[in-house]
Amino acid sequence: MFRIATNMPSDDMQYRLRRQEEGLARIQSQIAGHSKVQNLRDAPLAASHAVRYDSYLARLNRFENNTLYAHEHLIQTDAYMQHTTDVLQRIREIAVTGANGVYTPEDMRYMAVEVNELLKELTAAGNARGPDGTQLFGGDKGQTEPFRLVEGTGVGGENMVVRVEYRGAGASRRTEIADGTYINLDISGGEAFWAEQMQILSPVDASSFRVTANGSFFVDGEEISVRPGDTVGSVIAKINDSPAPVKAFLDPVSHGIFLQGTTPHLIRLEDAAGSSVLQDLGLIIPNADSGAPNWNPAARVSGGSAFDMVIQLRDALFRGDSSFVGGQGINGIDMALNNIQTRLVDLGSRTERAEYAWQRLNTEIPQVTGALDREAGLDMSTAAVDLGMMDFAYKATLQTAAKIVPQTLLDFLR
């Protein structure tokens, strides 16, 4: 014979009510979080898949933002380079006019004054900033104006631009558009605003040169490692095998190392920390700012920028030298224009790649979102129906409990 206490029905009813309350809380939490997986124990396999999908989706969204930034940045850069082309074309038109030989010296001086003003506009385009405030042509020196315009007394005692100095660095900024895949963002001013292929001849006889310690140096941002015992021939071979657009030779007369750019650009040279290979070869000076031209003053350096070509043309117009204007003057502007056009083609290719990457991401993101929704997503209509049924059952349970357990304190005082 079992003894039944009066609190047993109450305890049992409370247990069942707690179970229903737990179910209500769970489905309310799922609705609030728009996910049917609130804890790993709810669905371990689905939770593991959902975590991977969610992580991959976050990366895709970041790649999409990077791609949009790259596209907008490249479009902005393209606009300023197109403007540069227009300015150079106007300068060329003036040069063609001045080369006719039918204008008076005074007329040619007027042309030179206009070219000098266009040179300032060309410098302003080179110092353009993007929407985020970074220098478009400053390379990885995004907050430094890449071109410094120096004015002084020029031909005929006129106050004009005497030189334009490049203070930017290489175009090393890039952004990730897929796992392990990057797109270059910048074209440095030393690439876009150059005209001639640079040549640098060291004054040091390197025939007996030997590397004495492990080290490395940089040519146009490409690191080249050296080992003890490497000769100048080994250094030349390593430069030629590197991706840098520079070829190296040994001058047969002076036995100095000779560097020549394969494209019109400013050659950037830098020794790595603790290394002095390029200094020992006589190409650069020690303790120089790697972002600016730092070659040895005794080295023979040739190959000018677009600004140098414009300055030479302007000075020839001031002198009334129509022969120079029609020959070297126009040729220099043509070289600058050809380089700009080449860089524009490269820029257009990057822009198109960014567009295709954006299209790919906008196809992939919905697919991954759908996979994540299948694993952890919540059918809101079904959840709403389930919530209504559970709420109805909970209320019915409360009403039934009130009839089954009617005792109060007054019932025991009778």
pLDDT score for 375: 62
The CA distance from 196 to 189, in Å, is 14
pLDDT score for 133: 84
Q: Which CATH topology does 54-195+304-364 take?
A: f41 fragment of flagellin, N-terminal domain (1.20.1330)
- Name beta bridge partners: 175: 183
pLDDT score for 46: 59
- Model pTM? 0.77
The CA distance from 174 to 73, in Å, is 11
Q: Kindly report the length of the chain.
A: 414
Q: Higher model confidence: residue 218 or residue 50?
A: 218
The CA distance from 25 to 23, in Å, is 5
Mean pLDDT of 75-87: 95
Give per-residue pLDDT as tens, 185-241: 888 888 999 999 999 999 999 999 999 899 999 998 889 999 999 999 999 999 999
Mean pLDDT of 53-72: 89
The CA distance from 61 to 174, in Å, is 17
Helices (H), 242-329: 277-280, 306-319, 322-324
Which of these, 223, 293, 226, 300, lies nearest to 257 by C-alpha position? 300
Mean pLDDT of 117-127: 94
Q: Are 250 and 232 in contact (CB under 8 A)?
A: yes
- Asked, colleague to colleague, whether 54-195+304-364 and 199-302 share their fold, the answer is no
Give the rounded percent of residues in the chain with a pLDDT score beyond 90.
49
Q: Which CATH topology does 199-302 take?
A: Alpha-Beta Plaits (3.30.70)
pLDDT score for 26: 63
pLDDT band at 48 (very low <50, low <70, confident <90, very high): low
Only one residue has tokens 């257009």, namely: 348
pLDDT band at 290 (very low <50, low <70, confident <90, very high): very low
Give per-residue pLDDT as tens, 232-278: 999 999 999 999 999 999 999 999 999 999 999 999 898 998 888 99
Report which secondary-structure segment, H or E, holds 303: none
Domain positions in the chain are 54-195+304-364, 199-302
Mean pLDDT of 137-166: 82
pLDDT score for 24: 61
pLDDT score for 412: 54
- Cα of first residue to Cα of last residue in the chain, in angstroms, is 27
Give per-residue pLDDT as tens, 173-183: 888 998 888 99
The CA distance from 294 to 399, in Å, is 90
Mean pLDDT of 312-340: 93
Give the rounded percent of residues in the chain with a pLDDT score beyond 70.
75
The CA distance from 293 to 168, in Å, is 10
pLDDT score for 23: 61
Mean pLDDT of 76-85: 95
| Range with the largest mean pLDDT of 3-17, 49-63, 344-358 | 344-358
Q: For residue 409, how many other CB atoms are within 10 A of its CB?
A: 6
Mean pLDDT of 368-382: 65
Q: Higher model confidence: residue 94 or residue 32?
A: 94
Whether the per-residue pLDDT at 143 is higher than 60: the answer is yes
Average pLDDT across the chain, whole number: 83
pLDDT score for 21: 63
Parallel, antiparallel or unpaired: strands 159-166 and 147-153: antiparallel
pLDDT band at 116 (very low <50, low <70, confident <90, very high): very high
